[in-house]
């Protein structure tokens, strides 16, 4: 019995060492939970400010409208931009704090080859998606921005998940599916955005915390 237990323990140690040597495993589930909470607060602030209709008129030739701009309220646009930037900055700061703390606990370098690979694979789709959304805004296709952010973010997570915890890839798949669903319901972009960046982050953050942080 003891030999069997020792063998199982040895196998778990080997698996842990192999995982540490091939993946950046120090992402914290708590960072995901707090990021999701901040996203929900940001979405609530946007809802309060614009009441889900910050741009004046939608095309009515489809069941949910195309979300094209007829005219823009500059103050509203600036509020939404500031709201998004605050959520992003606070989320990144919290993610850095919890990830640094977990990396120290696991004896893993915060800035090592696998964290660089992960960030590179994350940054490329996010950067392209950001430029794509700017062009959508330029052409007045506001209704496509929410699903586009979800899809590109999801693709980035799938890409980065190869170098990190498997939950990251599953979160990415969920974001892509949600983004595609949002394309069918363009009038509800803010709700889908809150679910994708808020609820899903909290759910997967809790799952990651239970499986890897405790």
Give the number of other CB atoms < 10 A from CB of residue 165: 21
Q: Report how far residue 20's alpha carbon sits from residue 105's, in angstroms, rounded to the nearest whole number.
A: 13
pTM of the model: 0.75
- For the chain, the first-to-last Cα distance in angstroms comes to 27
Mean model confidence pLDDT for the chain: 76
Token code pair at residue 90: 């606070």
Token code pair at residue 148: 């586009």
| Per-residue pLDDT reduced to its tens digit, 20-78 | 444 555 577 888 899 999 999 998 888 887 765 444 334 444 433 444 444 456 677 77
Range with the poorest average pLDDT among 71-75, 165-169, 193-197: 71-75
């Amino acid at each position: 019995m003891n030999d069997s237990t020792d063998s199982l323990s040895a196998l778990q140690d080997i698996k842990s060492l192999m995982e540490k040597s091939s993946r950046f495993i120090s992402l914290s589930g708590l960072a995901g939970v707090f990021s999701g909470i901040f996203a929900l607060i940001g979405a609530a602030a946007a809802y309060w400010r614009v009441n889900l209709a910050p741009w004046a008129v939608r095309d009515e030739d489809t069941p949910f409208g195309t979300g094209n701009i007829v005219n823009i309220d500059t103050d509203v646009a600036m509020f939404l931009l500031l709201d998004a930037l605050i959520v992003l900055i606070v989320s990144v700061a919290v993610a850095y704090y919890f990830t640094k703390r977990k990396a120290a606990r696991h004896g893993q370098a915060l800035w090592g080859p696998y964290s660089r690979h992960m960030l590179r694979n994350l940054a490329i789709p996010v950067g392209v998606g950001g430029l794509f959304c700017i062009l959508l805004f330029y052409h007045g296709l506001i209704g496509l921005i929410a699903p586009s952010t979800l899809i590109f973010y999801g693709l980035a997570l799938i890409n980065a998940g190869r170098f990190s915890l498997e939950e990251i890839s599953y979160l990415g798949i969920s974001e892509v599916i949600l983004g595609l669903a949002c394309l069918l319901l363009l009038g509800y972009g803010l709700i889908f955005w809150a679910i994708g960046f808020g609820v899903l982050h909290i759910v997967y953050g809790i799952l990651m915390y239970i499986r890897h942080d405790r």
